[in-house]
A and B are shown apart, each in its own frame.
Chain A
Amino acid sequence: MNNESKLMRWFNKRYDLSPFEHFAKEKKVPDFKGSFWYYFGGVSLFLFIVQVVTGILLLMYYQPGAQTAYESVRFIVTKVEFGWLIRSIHSWSANLMILSVFIHMFSVYFTKAFRTPRELTWYSGFLLMSLTLVFGFSGYLLPWNTLSYFATKVGTEIVGVVPVVGIPLMEILRNGSDVTTATLTRFFGLHVAVLPAVFTVVLGIHLLFIQVQGISEPESWKDIPESKKNHIPFFPNFVLRDVLLWLIVLNVLAILAVYFPWELGHKADPFASAPAGIKPEWYFLFMFESLKFLPSKFLGLDGEVVGVMFFGLAGLLWFLIPLWDSRTPKGSRNKIINYVGIAVVLYIIILTTIGAR
Chain B
Amino acid sequence: MNVSGNEKMSRRTFLDYLMGFGLLAWLGAVLYPIVEYLKVPKQTEAAPSSVVAGLTKDFKPNEGKVFRFGNEPAILIDTPDGKLKAFSAVCTHLQCTVQYRPDMEKIWCACHGGVYDLNGRNIAGPPPRPLQEYKVVVKGDDIIVSKS
Contact = CB atoms under 8 A, between A and B. Distances in A.
A229 to B, nearest CB: 48
Interface in B48-83: 66-68, 71-73, 75
Nearest to B114: A296
Interface stretch (B4-12, B15-23, B88-96, B138-146): B88-96
Given A153-B95, A154-B95, A273-B98, A292 B113 contact: yes
Given A168-B39, A172-B39, A271-B68, A158 B94 contact: yes
B111 A274 contact: yes
A274 B127 CA distance: 15
Contact of B111 (A168, A182, A278): A278
Contacts, number: 80
Contact of A176 (B40, B72, B99): B40
Contacts of B125: 292, 296
A274 B40 contact: no
B110 A297 contact: no
A171 interface: yes
Interface string A131-162: 00000000000000000001001100110000
B27 to A, nearest CB: 18
B112 to A, nearest CB: 5
Contacts of A171: 39-40
Contacts of B67: 271
B127 to A, nearest CB: 6
Contacts of A172: 38-40
B96 A150 contact: yes
Nearest to A178: B71
Contact of A303 (B89, B99, B111, B128): B128
B97 interface: yes
B126 interface: yes
A302 interface: yes
Nearest to A289: B112
B110 A278 contact: yes
B85 to A, nearest CB: 16
A150 B75 CA distance: 17
Nearest to B73: A271
B26 to A, nearest CB: 22
A225 interface: no
A77 B9 CA distance: 69
Given A171-B39, A172-B40, A291 B95 contact: no
B110 A274 contact: yes
Contacts of B95: 153-154, 157
Nearest to A294: B126
A296 B113 CA distance: 12
11 contacts: A168-B39, A172-B39, A178-B72, A270-B73, A271-B97, A272-B73, A274-B96, A291-B94, A296-B122, A296-B125, A296-B126
Given A172-B38, A274-B98, A294-B126, 9 more contacts: A153-B96, A154-B111, A157-B94, A182-B40, A272-B66, A272-B97, A274-B97, A303-B128, A304-B128
